């Protein structure tokens, strides 16, 4: 059982974790679920339903195939995170075979594919047809990749063996299963988002993932009666693993329409709805929202990046259910914080999950700060990674177990964490720390603003000032610079001088990564190269007023 650090007041709300009854291996989550509820629906997809027993049997069959194709243990097998039961089979089949699953975003383009597969040293890969075509174009740049298999239903002749065909042809493994791995053996590679550089491969152990599945299930109030709707563009193992641990049913909603998960939730009598902030923000502004109702859902969960308090409040008030947020990183399996699903506070990512500590340190001196002060967030717990692939064994984690997240935030007296920004996105003006997200929140309060992003604009010896890109609502009649100047004037009236917008541009849209995150560095470089025409905001205070 994990115990709190005795020296830090920020761990006063620490809740101990009892992991004595958890499986020791990742695939044990699936085998335990199959033993407890063999015929219960585990994953409901648009075209089929898979029970716990069916997934478990398929994972075992695939494990035998992989042990034949890749003898030994610890080889890396890439698995594209499709929103499909095939992902679950491949993911747990790799784990059960004694190899390491590298979870790959199926939306990656060719150069990024080469990077993540080359970095991981993948010997085999399970991909869909679209990813297969992109992979084929760069296969000659991946000499270690020996085998490629296709996910998806059997059908027309395919350029590579399909998962379904492998399972049909699978025969008993004459060698039998390999020696059981230890809980601290690496079983999975997750890749960082790449918003501040090329993605890194995070090494996660059986214990990391099994413990976090338990932490998430408890934090999200999941149990055997729960039915979750997953409205993410790709499959994230955190939702899969936590539902398996709780013996809950997952409904996969693959339609991008913001209203689709609401209809799916009612159709399947769901209790939880999972989505991304940008999709929930679209739902909060959707023209059909007044006609939509949630019959059985008790909680809407948002994760991946920050959901604006306005969107959260609008959805909560309309549907009459709580909208809560969590926080985590690839390096933490991923969840470290979760707000109370029953009594969430808009804008907060909540308190640490069980067995997890959190503190905030000064970004320069690294001294631990008291509650309420802003600095870099650090976490410590059993879900923190083993380290980065290709780095020292514990690279990125301090000897005493603390991991620096790169996020800036503050801990309120009640223990809730409020995130401010990424450390690499904040900047200084007159030695004041400027948070782009706080300036963005002020801009979004104007009714004409549909979206915005803020980054730093160098301003000589004073440091940098806020440069905003603003997307206006369709049909708002915002031609010319007058509307843009008015939006900035109102936002600046609500901000201290060092956070005020000094440069602004109206743009048709703001590019985002597949998981909804904004790549501020790329936007900054693009708009500061002299090609854009920025409005110099009149009246922005250059010095304290």
Beta bridge partners of 273: 229, 300
Distance CA 491, CA 482 (A): 14
pLDDT at 541 (0 to 100): 63
Environment class of residue 409 by beta-carbon count within 10 Å: exposed (0-12), middle (13-18) or buried (19+)? buried
For residue 55, give the 3-state DSSP assignment.
helix
Within 10 Å of residue 393's Cβ, how many Cβ atoms?
A: 9
Task: Write the pLDDT tens digit of every residue in 442-498.
Answer: 999 999 999 999 999 998 878 899 999 999 988 766 555 689 999 999 999 988 888
**Domains (range + CATH), the chain:** 9-411 (3.40.50.12780), 427-536 (3.30.300.30)
Residues 6+ apart with CB under 8 A from 325: 301, 302, 303, 306, 307, 312, 338, 339, 344, 348, 349, 350
Determine the angle formed by the axes of helices 237-246 and 28-36, rounding to 10 degrees: 40
The candidate with the shortest Cα–Cα distance to 253, out of 231, 233, 226, is: 231
Q: What distance in Å separates the CA atoms of residue 54 and residue 62, rounded to the nearest whole number?
A: 12
Percent helix, strand, coil in the chain, to 5, is 30, 25, 45
Distance CA(231)–CA(405), nearest Å, equals 26
Model pLDDT, residue 169: 84
Question: Dihedrals φ, ψ of 193, to 5°?
Answer: -70, -25
DSSP secondary structure letter of residue 496: -
pLDDT < 70: residue spans in the chain: 1-13, 156, 172-178, 194-197, 393-394, 476-481, 514-515, 530-532, 539-545
Provide Rg for the chain, Cα atoms.
24
Pick from 403, 19, 58, 17: nearest CA to 206: 19
- Give tens-digit pLDDT for 207-255: 999 999 999 999 999 999 999 999 998 999 999 999 999 999 999 999 9
Please state the pTM of the whole predicted model. 0.83
pLDDT computed for residue 393 by the predictor: 67
Helix, coil or strand: residue 430: coil
Run of H or E residues at 134? helix 129-136
């Amino acid at each position: 059982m994990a115990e709190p650090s005795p020296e830090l007041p920020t761990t006063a709300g620490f809740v101990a974790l009892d992991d004595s009854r958890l499986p020791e291996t990742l695939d044990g989550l699936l085998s335990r679920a199959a033993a407890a509820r063999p015929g219960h629906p585990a994953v409901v997809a648009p075209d089929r339903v898979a029970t716990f027993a069916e997934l478990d049997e398929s994972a075992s069959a695939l494990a035998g195939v992989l042990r034949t194709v890749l003898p030994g243990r610890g080889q890396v097998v890439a698995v594209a995170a499709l929103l499909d039961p095939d992902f679950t089979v491949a993911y747990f089949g790799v784990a059960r075979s004694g190899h390491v699953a590298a979870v790959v975003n199926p939306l990656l383009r060719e150069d990024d594919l080469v990077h993540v597969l080359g970095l991981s040293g993948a010997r085999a890969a399970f991909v869909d047809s679209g990813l297969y075509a992109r992979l084929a174009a760069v296969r000659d740049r991946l000499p270690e990749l020996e085998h490629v298999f296709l996910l998806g239903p059997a059908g027309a002749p395919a350029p590579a063996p399909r998962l379904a065909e492998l399972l049909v042809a699978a025969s008993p493994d004459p060698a039998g299963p390999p020696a059981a791995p230890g809980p601290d053996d690496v079983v999975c590679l997750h890749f960082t988002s790449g918003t501040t550089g090329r993605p890194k491969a995070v090494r996660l152990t059986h214990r990391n993932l099994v413990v976090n599945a338990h932490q998430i299930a408890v934090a999200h109030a999941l149990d055997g009666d729960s039915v979750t709707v997953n409205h993410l563009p790709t499959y994230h193992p955190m939702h899969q693993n936590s539902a398996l641990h709780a013996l809950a049913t997952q409904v996969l909603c693959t339609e991008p329409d913001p209203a689709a998960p609401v209809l799916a939730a009612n159709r399947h009598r769901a209790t939880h709805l999972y989505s991304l902030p940008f999709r929930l923000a679209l739902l909060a502004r959707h023209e059909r929202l007044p006609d939509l109702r949630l019959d059985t859902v008790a909680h809407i969960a948002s994760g991946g990046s920050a959901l604006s308090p306005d969107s959260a409040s609008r959805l909560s008030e309309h549907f009459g259910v709580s909208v809560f947020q969590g926080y985590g990183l690839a390096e933490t399996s991923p969840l470290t914080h979760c707000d109370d699903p029953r009594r969430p506070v808009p804008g907060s990512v909540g308190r640490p999950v069980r067995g997890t500590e959190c503190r905030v340190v000064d970004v320069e001196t690294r001294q631990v700060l008291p509650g309420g002060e802003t600095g870099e967030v650090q976490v410590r717990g059993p879900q923190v990674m083993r380290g980065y692939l290709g780095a020292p064994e514990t690279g990125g984690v301090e000897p005493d177990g603390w991991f620096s997240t790169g996020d800036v935030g503050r801990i309120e007296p009640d223990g809730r964490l409020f995130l401010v920004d990424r450390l690499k996105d904040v900047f200084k003006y007159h030695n004041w720390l400027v948070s782009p997200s706080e300036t963005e929140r002020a801009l979004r309060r104007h009714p004409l603003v549909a979206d915005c992003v803020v980054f730093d604009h160098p301003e000589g010896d004073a440091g940098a000032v806020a440069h905003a890109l603003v997307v206006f609502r369709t049909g708002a009649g915002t031609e010319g610079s007058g509307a843009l100047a008015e939006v900035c004037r109102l936002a600046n009236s609500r901000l201290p001088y060092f956070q005020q917008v000094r440069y602004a541009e109206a743009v048709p849209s703001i590019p985002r990564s597949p998981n909804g995150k904004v790549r501020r560095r790329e936007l900054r470089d693009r708009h500061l190269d002299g090609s854009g025409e920025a409005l110099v905001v009149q009246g922005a205070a250059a010095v304290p007023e």
